[in-house]
Structure 1
Amino acid sequence: MTETGDWTTVGEQVRQTRLGAGLSQAELGAHLGLDRTMIAKIESGVRRVDALELIRLATALDVPLDHLLQRRPAVISRRSDVIAEDDNTDVARRSQRLEITLASWLRDVRQLLDAGTLTLRVPVRYEGSVTSDEDARTAARWLRDVRGIGTEPIATLMDFCERSGQYVLISDLPGEGASMVDGDVAVSIVSVEGDPGRRRATAAHELGHLVLGDEYSSDLAVHVSRADRESLVNAFAAELLLPVAAFADVASGPATREDLIRFTARYRTSWSLAVRQAERAGWLDVSSARWSRTTPTRAEIMDAVGWAPQPDLDAIRVPPGYSHAVMEAWRRYLVSDARAVELLHGQIRLDDLPTRDETDLTL
């Protein structure tokens, strides 16, 4: 089932997944009808498991079988470290579930790349030095120029990320986001929790980790702390979503709540991010504009955009290019109806697909 040297990998995957599920070794053993010591031996790589036991382990842990067989690529953005045996916090478990889903999402993308229906988008990397917030903002402006949008709003962040080489999945899991790179394939997950502005900020943040460089490499301000690196990525994300230069047209006039609401609505950011960027542009003085402390209501935001639907990072769960690749694989009979629905992560149901003869399925 696996090479001799791989049993340590399988064991560590079982251990981390068990901890992510909040199970003790004894509890997992009870699910499988095994003694706790047997689970301990599996996790240490001492005891081999056969194919049936691997399937039972994957079922008990609620993960794909491949998840237990393959070492996960490095997560370049994580909200917590690898879970320790005595770390039973909800935060640690949520982080682990995000990583499990992230690894599964990577496999989905690779399946379509291998099928030839998805064209690989090589990740965009900023080659300049990033050692300050201003450097990070410069990188964001550079990426906007690369994408040819100047200071205009990013219409669909999902598509923007895909064209920049990062495939984003919107997940129902609690938390915020995470991202990883495996060779030339970059993927990220953004939780559907929170308001749309927060989701876009999380997606832009994860893209920042990719564009600016792996937080564990020497490319991104190696001399600063991890918290400071996160600050650099946050500066990138803010400038990417709402560039300071966008305020140039209103800079000569007095700051008004109505104008800032329009910026928030057009650029689909959180109110707090819009306030920070307006202040950085020199257009808004937060100390004197007391109205800036009151977040607009949903009615105010929707009124500012003419009550047009705002589907980005909500109803749209996977990138458009990826979605087309799934349907192309389905049309070529490379995936079943059920697998096509699974690959689209809730964007369609089985009855949304036309009827076809499944006997022609090749894979």
Structure 2
Amino acid sequence: MEAANLCAIIAHVDRVSIGKRLAEARDAAGMTQDSVARAVGLERTAIVLLEKGDRNLKVPELVQIAQVLGRPLSYFVETPVPAAVSRRSAPSLAHASTRVLDIEIDQFALDVRALVRLGLLSGAERDARARVPRSHRAAEDAATSFRRRLGLDSQSPVLNLGRVCETAGLYTFAAALGESGPDGACIEVADDSGTVGAAVINGDAGSGRRRMTLAHELGHWLFGDAYDHGASRDSERMISSFAVHFLAPRAGVQKVWSENSNSPIRDRALAVGVEFQLSWSATVGQLMNLALISHAQHDDLKLREPRAGDYLRLGLSWVEELEAPYLSPGFMAACLTGYTEEKLTEARVLGLLRGRLDASQLPQIEARSLEDLRQAFMGHGG
């Protein structure tokens, strides 16, 4: 979004809405009204009035405030995605939420919607009949069915999970939310041009936890559980069951377990965890689910969290995935296509890419010939 266009936009945006977003972004940035005021050269009372919606906001002020708070201009002036608003106003959320996560999912959903409207991302087809499984068996069957749709066999690990999610229409951003921060969230981004999903996960968590979180959000997206009013309070548990069976299918886990039958139980568990890139808790939980270890063995193993040296001792290594600031490859490709097609400015595409590239790394834009311009002009004249 260009600053030159802001005057007309701000004039049509509710001052209270902008003020609310200013307050939320400031809080998420860990800044006081006084510190923001000093950073942009205003009195503290001016920030107070802006956040209350009692003062007109000037374009240069918004540009400065957005820079200080580390947010793009679009976050403050564009109409939020309805599903993001619903998520914020829900009386109880199924999983942990913080203001930072809410802001990140708001912003990413806005960006995904913008790419859909520009024709750079396409809408996804989902099974309208899909509902949250009501049993662990049903969750496993759903995971098996989805793996089959993707062309995955019954034993292989899921590689490049972010790209896999894109095939179902779910785009991902891994944000820096802190090691002890919330796991993630996803929402529906619906527009006349199509419907896709936007997920934000905690890119500061461990790799296995990141993968489980994204697989969990994929379950939310596939089952459309926000609209499944018949779902029980156990729906989160069932979606987690889907996620672990999707990442670590029964036949695959049993195969690795059997191949390491001469090793101690803990080493066998380590081999399973690395093969399917699971967190330790998810690994021992799935081994118990599949009756490969007892409850007592599960409790013992869960307390013996492995260290890096435990894996290296066995010649095992992790493939780090979904680290902050990860973006789905298809999302990045859409951004860069928009730039080369001159649908997105340099400043806009760099903001969308969230620091993944700098200006010197952007593709070169081919100079357009007079014939190209003539054809474009004739096309618009239609």
Q: TM-score, normalised by structure 2?
A: 0.73
Structure 1 unaligned spans of 5+: 83-90
Question: How many percent of aligned residue pairs carry the same amino acid?
Answer: 27
Residues 44, 244 of structure 1: CA spacing in aligned structure 2 closer, same or farther, 3 A cutoff? same
Over aligned residue pairs, what C-alpha RMSD do you find?
3.9
CA contact (8 A) 2:184 2:199 kept: yes
Choose from 102, 112, 129 the match for 2:105: 102
Alpha-carbon deviations, 1:230-276, whole Å to 9, x = none?
33332232222223343444778688334332221111001221111
In structure 1, what is the equivalent of residue 122 of structure 2? Answer: 119
1:329 aligns with 2:329: no
1:178 aligns with 2:178: no
Residue identity opposite 2:215 in structure 1: A
In structure 1, what is the equivalent of residue 252 of structure 2? Answer: 246
Structure 2 unaligned spans of 5+: 1-8, 374-382
The 2-side partners of 1:5 and 1:118 are apart by 27
In structure 2, what is the equivalent of residue 87 of structure 1? Answer: none
Displacement of 1:166: 0.9
Choose from 43, 48, 71 the match for 1:63: 71
CA contact (8 A) 1:330 1:337 kept: yes
Secondary structure of 1:284 counterpart: coil
In structure 1, what is the equivalent of residue 243 of structure 2? Answer: 237
Displacement of 1:196: 1.0
Secondary structure of 1:186 counterpart: strand
CA contact (8 A) 1:265 1:305 kept: no
Displacement of 1:76: 9.0
CA contact (8 A) 1:9 1:70 kept: no
CA contact (8 A) 1:172 1:193 kept: yes
The 2-side partners of 1:144 and 1:79 are apart by 32
1:171-250 mapped onto 2 (5 Å cutoff): 171-174=175-178, 175=181, 176-183=183-190, 184-215=195-226, 217-219=227-229, 221=231, 223-224=232-233, 228-249=234-255
Displacement of 1:69: 1.5
Residues 126, 261 of structure 1: CA spacing in aligned structure 2 closer, same or farther, 3 A cutoff? farther
The 2-side partners of 1:108 and 1:5 are apart by 18
The 2-side partners of 1:77 and 1:153 are apart by 35
1:167 aligns with 2:177: no
Choose from 154, 160, 168 the match for 1:156: 160
1:295 aligns with 2:302: no
CA contact (8 A) 2:80 2:110 kept: no
The 2-side partners of 1:247 and 1:320 are apart by 28
Residues 193, 125 of structure 1: CA spacing in aligned structure 2 closer, same or farther, 3 A cutoff? farther
Aligned pairs, number:
345
Alpha-carbon deviations, 1:63-106, whole Å to 9, x = none?
21111113433349979989xxxxxxxx98xx323332333323
In structure 2, what is the equivalent of residue 8 of structure 1? Answer: 16
Residues 8, 327 of structure 1: CA spacing in aligned structure 2 closer, same or farther, 3 A cutoff? closer
Secondary structure of 2:296 counterpart: coil
1:78-93 mapped onto 2 (5 Å cutoff): none
Residues 245, 357 of structure 1: CA spacing in aligned structure 2 closer, same or farther, 3 A cutoff? closer
Residues 124, 77 of structure 1: CA spacing in aligned structure 2 closer, same or farther, 3 A cutoff? farther
Q: TM-score, normalised by structure 1?
A: 0.76
Displacement of 1:203: 1.2
Greater CA drift, 266-275 or 327-336 = 327-336
Secondary structure of 1:205 counterpart: helix
Displacement of 1:159: 0.9
The 2-side partners of 1:334 and 1:231 are apart by 43
CA contact (8 A) 2:256 2:271 kept: no
Alpha-carbon deviations, 1:186-212, whole Å to 9, x = none?
111222213211111121122222223
Choose from 284, 309, 313 the match for 1:275: 284
The 2-side partners of 1:319 and 1:7 are apart by 34
1:319 aligns with 2:328: yes
CA contact (8 A) 1:42 1:48 kept: yes
